[in-house]
Chain A
């Protein structure tokens, strides 16, 4: 019991439940607790860019040169493409099968679109070449200051590859970056002590502000979305895990702490550093984790993909818009592109949806208004699915690279409690503390 009370996942769970209770019982109070959640998210966010940098650089410099990095990146993209395409198709299928929007009879010309005006503007913008150009930082420090993850990844890869190419002189720089990495993970460990407080605040806010009532209003859509996400994780991701030689359920149990954190804050970013750390302890190789997970946060948004197609189908049904099969293929093609840019813009999935709808023209844009109220509730499932998808992708790419220590992974998965206790005792999420250097060939 004592051990349970000490473990982070348990504290977060209790905090999430307490937050929900406060949000239901005293909505006003719940809403006013928003700064607690925001503060925690800010605390984690301030460290994400430097953590990605140090992890990627040490990973790439230690193991691979340009060639290997390129291969890992390419394989990651392939895995991402496959997973998100499946997710998109699943969203369409779920939408067509359950028809969540049927019978709503909404007249788009009478919907008040003011609430979505901001999204509409953000949704335009961004051509494909702009997007690619945007990956190159204007200035190295600017990339870090603006917290642009793709730009940071881009520079980190260059830096890591260059460091790998300059062995003798680079050794000191590498030691420095490694020390920095240890320092940042140590700070992250300190920050994580505040996770229950943050989750409590964020949860109280969400429930207090949007209430259980909104859930019921569009209940069918929400239920189908949650179902589709569950299906995606339990069926498709399970198949991928099986291929890697591991079971999905032990894996979910292994990352329960990260899942709870994501549910609580409804932001998958808050769990990014913890997830990277857990995956390397599982036996995935460090450079692969360092590359796949941050990249996945931009390109492997499985939950967002399910949401995008499902929501599009929902809007067409609610507004009685007829869409031909040919048009559906076109929608899918567009979504394959727009879903990739979702993370590059704040507001995430919602903006991507706006971009898609305005690119299509056929589906009434005003239909988005129907979704504004429940977006926060949807975003919980979206974020959790994205998180799990990224974890699985890292395992899959490691396996593909022949760098997954399956025996080790099985042992780790079967002894989750032991790992957590060890973590707590060590008081750190420093990867090198528990992964012996020798495990990296």
Chain B
């Protein structure tokens, strides 16, 4: 029992429950708890850019090979492309089978579209060339100042490769950046102590503001979305993990802390630093984790993909818009592109949805209004699925690179409780504390041995 109260995941779980109860019993008090959740998310977000920078730079500099960096990046992109396509297709299939919007008979002309006008304008914009150009920072410091993850990632990769090429001359800087990395993870460890407070506040706000009632009105849509996300994780991601030799349920148990934090805050970014640390401790190689996880936050949004197709079909059904098979394929094709831009814009999935609907044409964009009330609840499942998807991606790409220490990973998964206990005692989530330095390149065991 004492151990349980020590562990972060139990604290977060209790906080989430307490928040939900408060929000339900006293909605206005619950809504007032919002700053607690927002504050926690801000705390984590302020550190994400430097953490990505230090992790990627040290990872690549130690890996020391431009070709390999390119290969890992390419493999990651291929994997992202495949998985998100599957996720989009699954959303489409479930939407057709479950018919969540059937019988709602909404007249699009009667909907008040003013609530979504800001989303639809943000939805226009951005061509592919613009998107690519925007990955290059205007100025290095500016990229950090604005916390633009793709720009930071881009510069970090350049920096890491250059540092590796400098060899001896770069040693001093590398040491310094490594030191920074430790400090940053240590700060994250300190911040995580208040994770329960943040999860409590965010949950109380969500339930207080949107209420359980809103859940019921669009219950079928939410139920299908949660069920689909669950099936996606268990079946698709389960199969993928099976290929690497690990079990999905143990994996989920291993990252339960991250899952609960995401559930509480409904932002998958709040768990990014923790997830990176955990993946390294699991036995994924450091450069792979450093590259794959931040990239995945822009390109591997499995939960968002499921949501996009499902919601598109929902709106079509609710407004009695007939969608042909050809159009379904068109929706899929458009989404394959637009879903990649989701993270580059604030507001995420919702804006992408607006962009897609206006691109497809005959589905009324005003139908988005139907979703606003429940979007927050959908975003919980979306963020969790995205999180799990990125964790799995790091494992898969590591394995593909032949750099996953499967024995070590099995051991870590089998022994979650003691890992957490150790973490708590040490008071940190610092990745290198468990992985001895030499392990990085010298003794990285090949897969399957």
Contact = CB atoms under 8 A, between A and B. Distances in A.
Interface of A: 35, 38-39, 42-43, 45-50, 141-142, 144-147, 175-176, 179-180, 182-183, 186-187, 190-191, 427
B142 A147 contact: yes
Interface in B86-142: 129-130, 132-133, 136-142
B159 to A, nearest CB: 7
Contact of B133 (A39, A142, A427): A39
A141 B145 contact: yes
Contacts of A45: 138-139
A190 B172 contact: no
B137 A39 contact: no
B70 to A, nearest CB: 13
19 contacts: A35-B130, A39-B132, A42-B133, A42-B138, A45-B138, A45-B139, A46-B140, A49-B139, A50-B140, A142-B145, A144-B140, A147-B138, A176-B172, A180-B173, A183-B159, A187-B162, A190-B161, A190-B162, A427-B165
Contacts, number: 76
Contacts of A180: 173
A151 to B, nearest CB: 12
Nearest to A144: B141
Nearest to A147: B139
B227 interface: no
A191 to B, nearest CB: 8
Q: Which of A42, A175, A186 has the most CB of B within 10 A?
A: A186
B166 A141 contact: no
B2 interface: no
Given A144-B142, A176-B176, A179-B173, A39 B165 contact: no
B235 interface: no
Given A35-B129, A46-B136, A190-B158, A183 B145 contact: no
Q: Which of B139, B143, B163 has the most CB of A within 10 A?
A: B139
A147 B130 CA distance: 20
Nearest to B137: A46
Contacts of A183: 159, 162-163, 166, 170, 173
Nearest to A142: B145
Given A186-B166, A190-B162, A146 B139 contact: yes
A179 B140 contact: no
A179 B165 CA distance: 13
Contacts of B141: 49-50, 141, 144-145
The 6 closest A-B pairs by CB, nearest first: A144-B141, A186-B162, A145-B142, A35-B129, A147-B139, A42-B136
B169 interface: yes
B398 to A, nearest CB: 26
A179 B169 contact: yes
A429 to B, nearest CB: 12
A35 B172 CA distance: 37
Contacts of A179: 169-170, 172-173
Contacts of B176: 176
Interface of B: 129-130, 132-133, 136-143, 145-146, 155, 158-159, 161-163, 165-166, 169-170, 172-173, 176
Nearest to A35: B129
Contacts of A49: 139-141
A427 B166 CA distance: 11
Contacts of A176: 172-173, 176
Contacts of B163: 183, 186
Contacts of B139: 45-46, 48-49, 144-147
B9 to A, nearest CB: 37
A182 B129 contact: no
Contacts of A47: 140
Contacts of A50: 140-141
B378 to A, nearest CB: 35
A276 B170 CA distance: 22
Contact of A182 (B130, B137, B158, B166): B166
B20 to A, nearest CB: 41
Nearest to B151: A46
B333 to A, nearest CB: 22
A402 to B, nearest CB: 31
B139 to A, nearest CB: 4
Given A145-B146, A147-B139, A190-B162, 12 more contacts: A35-B130, A35-B132, A46-B138, A46-B140, A48-B139, A49-B139, A145-B139, A176-B173, A186-B163, A187-B158, A190-B158, A427-B165
A146 B133 contact: no
Contacts of A144: 139-142
A11 B222 CA distance: 58
A174 B155 CA distance: 23
A48 B141 CA distance: 11
Q: Which of A35, A142, A180 has the most CB of B within 10 A?
A: A35
Contacts of A147: 138-139, 142
A164 B387 CA distance: 49
A146 to B, nearest CB: 7
A186 B133 contact: no
A187 B158 CA distance: 6
A182 B169 contact: yes
A50 B155 CA distance: 13
Contacts of B142: 144-147
A176 B172 CA distance: 8
B445 to A, nearest CB: 32
Contacts of B137: 42, 46
A38 B162 CA distance: 23
Contacts of A38: 133
A47 B142 CA distance: 11
Contacts of A48: 139
Nearest to B145: A145
A167 B172 CA distance: 20
Nearest to B146: A145
Contacts of B146: 145
Nearest to B155: A46
Contacts of A39: 132-133, 136
Nearest to B136: A42
Contacts of A43: 136
Contacts of B165: 186, 427
Contacts of B155: 46
Nearest to B66: A190
Contacts of A35: 129-130, 132-133
A43 B165 CA distance: 19
A229 to B, nearest CB: 30
A287 B307 CA distance: 58
A307 B206 CA distance: 62
Contact of B172 (A142, A175, A186, A191): A175
Contacts of A182: 166, 169-170
A182 B142 CA distance: 21
A430 B176 CA distance: 21
A48 B138 CA distance: 10
Contacts of A190: 158, 161-162
A49 B140 CA distance: 8
Nearest to A34: B129
B133 A187 contact: no
A303 B162 CA distance: 35
Contacts of A186: 162-163, 165-166
Contacts of B133: 35, 38-39, 42
A45 B137 CA distance: 9
Nearest to B142: A145
Q: Which of B141, B143, B173 has the most CB of A within 10 A?
A: B141
Nearest to A427: B165
A263 B130 CA distance: 24
Nearest to B139: A147
A35 B129 CA distance: 7
A45 B172 CA distance: 26
A327 to B, nearest CB: 41
Contacts of B138: 42, 45-46, 147
